[in-house]
């Protein structure tokens, strides 16, 4: 199976390069179907049955108006420097989930226009990994029928997010640039919180209660949270007197740590691919699980480059012209991923 997969990915790369086409490869019990024209991702989605897997090449894709099936979707990755051979896989429109998408897995995609669930619609146990989400994550509602058990791991999240209808959500080993609204009964672990806006005196987390924050790095110089009954375990705070809301539980936190002494290289409060978010002193800032605080600690350390776990095209060379015998020399290198 692994050999077949590597061969398929290599062939997809060749087709994409030579013909300048984007490709979606649908893997199902019936075999493999390639989609190379039309509305490629939508067509592959429409043909897929629950449990199938879709592989997207690099390039821009429009997503279905509603993603409402239990599928696995792999892109080529989101980091420009680490997808030079393939281009990043980009979803250009809103990505909207329906309540039949329980247990969906999505990895290696750049969402340009947000990740959304409709008001009070329950979507449970999805996993989004090694992706960039511009436009934030949105679960509007009032927990009447909550979305439960969803995970965002090793992601970069840009834009304000709303978790009003999410419960037992886990965000781990991720970078969150902006604010979070209406979070209740959720978990934030081994992540970096960057926002520092003081509009109307608001905090980074607004209306947040009964959440657990563990082993995070919080570089905002203003108040962190507005809410009640939240727990804070072994987090780094730049602000020595940050507001933790009403009736907090706090243990093992590192307060008043200058931002310049935290990361190997990062300034300001905006995400940059050029930054190195490794800790300068990982042995000094230890989490409640015994690993280092921040995105490179915990059970799922952030993978630099954000490459998805499927075999990745790392090199692609195509001769500028055919050889005397009429052949076109093409070299494609596919690298296996440890995780």
Domain ranges for the chain: 2-168+309-335
Higher pLDDT, 339 or 134: 134
Entry pTM: 0.89
Coil, strand or helix at 203:
coil
Phi and psi torsions of 73, nearest 5°: -125, 125
Q: How many CA atoms lie within 13 A of 5 on its CB side?
A: 16
CA–CA gap between residue 117 and residue 94 (Å, rounded): 10
User: H-helix or E-strand containing 14?
Assistant: helix 2-19
Q: What is the pLDDT of residue 238?
A: 95
pLDDT digits (tens, 9 = 90+) for 102-148: 999 999 999 999 999 999 999 999 999 999 999 999 999 999 999 99
Are 142 and 120 a contacting pair, CB within 8 Å?
yes
pLDDT digits (tens, 9 = 90+) for 30-84: 999 999 999 999 999 999 999 999 999 999 999 999 999 999 999 999 999 877 7
CA–CA gap between residue 237 and residue 171 (Å, rounded): 18
Q: What is the pLDDT of residue 314?
A: 47
User: H-helix or E-strand containing 7?
Assistant: helix 2-19
Q: What is the pLDDT of residue 221?
A: 83
Q: What is the pLDDT of residue 4?
A: 47
Q: What is the pLDDT of residue 1?
A: 47
Q: What is the pLDDT of residue 197?
A: 59
Among the listed residues 203, 198, 200, 167, the one whose alpha carbon sits nearest the alpha carbon of residue 185: 167
């Amino acid at each position: 199976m692994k050999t077949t997969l590597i061969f398929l990915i290599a062939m997809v790369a060749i087709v994409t390069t030579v013909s300048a086409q984007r490709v979606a490869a649908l893997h199902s019990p019936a075999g493999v179907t390639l989609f190379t024209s039309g509305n490629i991702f939508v067509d592959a989605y429409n043909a897929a049955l629950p449990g199938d897997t879709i592989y997207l090449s690099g390039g821009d894709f429009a997503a279905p108006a509603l993603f409402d099936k239990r599928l696995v979707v792999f892109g080529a990755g989101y980091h420009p420097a680490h997808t030079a051979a393939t281009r990043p896989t980009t979803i250009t429109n809103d990505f909207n989930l329906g309540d039949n998408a329980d247990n969906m897995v999505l990895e290696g995609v750049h969402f340009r226009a947000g990740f959304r669930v409709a008001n009070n619609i329950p979507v449970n146990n999805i996993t989004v990994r090694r992706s960039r989400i511009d436009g934030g994550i949105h679960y509007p509602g009032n927990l009447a029928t909550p979305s439960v058990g969803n995970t965002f791991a090793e992601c970069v999240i840009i834009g304000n997010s709303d978790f009003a209808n999410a419960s037992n959500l886990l965000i781990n080993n991720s970078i969150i640039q902006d604010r979070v609204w209406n979070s209740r009964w959720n978990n934030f672990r081994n992540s970096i919180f960057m926002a520092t806006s003081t509009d109307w005196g608001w905090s980074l987390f607004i209306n947040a209660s009964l959440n657990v924050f563990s082993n995070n790095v919080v570089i905002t110089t203003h108040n962190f949270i507005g809410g009640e009954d939240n727990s804070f375990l072994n987090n780094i705070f730049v602000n020595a007197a940050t507001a933790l809301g009403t009736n907090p539980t706090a243990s093992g936190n590192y307060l008043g740590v200058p931002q310049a002494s935290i990361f190997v290289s990062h300034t300001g409060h905006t995400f940059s691919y050029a930054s190195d978010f490794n800790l300068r002193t990982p042995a000094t800032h230890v989490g409640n699980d015994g690993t280092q605080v921040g995105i490179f600690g915990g059970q799922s350390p952030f993978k630099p480059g954000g490459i998805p776990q499927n075999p990745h095209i790392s090199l692609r060379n195509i001769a500028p012209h055919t050889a005397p015998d009429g052949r076109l020399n093409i070299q494609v290198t596919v690298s296996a991923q440890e995780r």
